[in-house]
Chains A and B, each alone.
Chain A
Amino acid sequence: MSDTKEMLERAVRNFPAPPGDADAVCRFVERRNRRRRVGSAVVALTLTAGLVAAAVVVAGDGTGTTPAEGETPRNGPIVFSELHRGLSSWVLSTIEPDGSGYRRLREPAEGVRDYGNDWSPDGTRIAYDRETPRGIWVMRADGSSIERLTSDWALSPQWSPDGTQIAYFHFDSDTLGRTSESAAIWVMDSDGSDGHPVTAPGDDLGIEVDWAPDGRHLLFRRFAPAQPGIYELDLLTSEERLLSPGPEDVSHVQGGDIEVGAPSYSPDGAHVAFDSDRDIWVMARDGSDMRRITSNGPWEGTTTARQPWAEDPSWSPDGASIVYVQEGDIWIIGVDGTNPHPVRETLREEVAPAWGSMP
């Protein structure tokens, strides 16, 4: 027996198991299954209502603010959250892709934590989630006209391509306002009205969501043991489709979870970017042609304590580049993996970038 094993064997004896028996496990499973059955019935009813609303959106005349067909959108500024550690505050800032025009949209203050961001399709407004007071909020691109759309536990707002709706993650909470791990994807009108679930609640949903350019599909991830991976939800039929479980060498872990996050559609809807295994990846929308475009991995041969990590990809409106987070800084890389570079080098931690189009 190795000396490390001996040490650990001694240490593990510090923890006598608390009281419990196999019957308690069986009762726990039965109680949970009962709750799930009740929850499914409720959601089935709400989904019916949601389906009608989604159908209206897809079939609507589209008062869209996206560029006309055939016109390539021009890249605008990037919005991101940055940490002001002394105040424990996350605030939104914008910057041009060439590193110029840095602008803080709000002064940091104790307790202010603004995070998951997205631009409206016309590039004039920013939706984001705030922790206190909690909810989904919207502001103009210059930081003015701040408006609270919801007062629930909600994260990661994403505008629909026509700008009329916002998808987000809604967390269940009890009467005391405490959040649970169970969340569902909700959709509301962009004025905050008519919020409703479009998926059943579950504790296996990632908290990132993206809206397809066709206005009909949402991209999200599940880390359920049965079939973890990147999924696409059809808002018209409520059907979910597994696009990919992620890179083969980090997926299919028996019993659960994979490390795939932040899936994001390309502007033409033909490709999906995501993070996994310390890198940014791009694949075709059908899950084929998967390739790693940053080069932090593979892990083999990593011997230093420093292990760089890339995450949170977001496409440029023209589809040629991707903005992402590399070890707390905002970076840009070509979709073919060329020319990775920081937008701005700073000691301050920066996260959750979203690339807007030129208004």
Chain B
Amino acid sequence: METDLAERVEAPPSFEEFFDAHRARLFGALCLMTRDRHEAEEIVQEAFARVWEHWNGVGNRISDPTGYLFRIATNLFRQRLRRAALAARRTIHVAPRDDLAEIDANDAVMRLLARLTRKQRAAVVLVDLLDFPAPEAARLLGIRAGAVRGLLHRARTALREGTGGTE
């Protein structure tokens, strides 16, 4: 009986269990980074799809499928960041979509986050919410560690000052 229990505890999660365990948090984190529910939803779907395509490999070979999922999602976010910058250059008449205004009105932190750049939001979400080390967040964002520290400093300062705190 004890052996059966130990095997159940150590058995890797099924894809369904993995999906249910991480989807909500990933979606929330991406909403903070993108400020766009639709974009967040698309990235979540694509990230899980990529994990599913390699599920046997990911589940068996990589000890941290959760980290893998969030890395893929961040890379997708960064690809869109670069494409968005290009699109903004080419079609400057199109305003970026920002569908969280209603939440902003009722949430002080969301209002403060709205004033940060996408990279500042991404840096603070990756490091402070999702607990990625700053050097790894830097690689995920395609920038150097020093730059992440700069982004974090500005983001944290803005959040603290906006809520009445000091450094």
Contact = CB atoms under 8 A, between A and B. Distances in A.
A70 interface: no
Nearest to A181: B83
A25 B68 contact: no
B68 A254 contact: yes
Interface of B is mostly: helix
B125 interface: yes
A3 B128 CA distance: 9
B109 interface: yes
Interface residues of B, number: 65
B113 interface: yes
B128 A250 contact: no
Contacts of B124: 4, 8
Given A11-B32, A25-B49, A29-B52, A2 B128 contact: yes
B19 A257 contact: no
A109 to B, nearest CB: 13
Interface of B: 15-16, 18-20, 23-25, 27-29, 31-32, 37, 40-41, 44-45, 48-50, 52-53, 68, 71-72, 74-76, 78-79, 82-83, 86, 89-93, 103, 107, 109-110, 113, 124-125, 128-129, 138-140, 142-147, 150, 154-156, 159-160, 163, 165
Given A10-B109, A12-B29, A257-B79, 18 more contacts: A4-B124, A4-B160, A5-B129, A14-B28, A15-B27, A18-B37, A28-B49, A32-B49, A85-B92, A113-B90, A115-B90, A131-B90, A250-B142, A253-B75, A256-B75, A256-B76, A257-B82, A299-B144
Interface of A: 2-5, 7-18, 20-23, 25-26, 28-29, 32, 83, 85, 88, 90, 113, 115, 131, 181, 207, 223, 225, 249-250, 253-259, 277, 297-303, 305, 307, 351
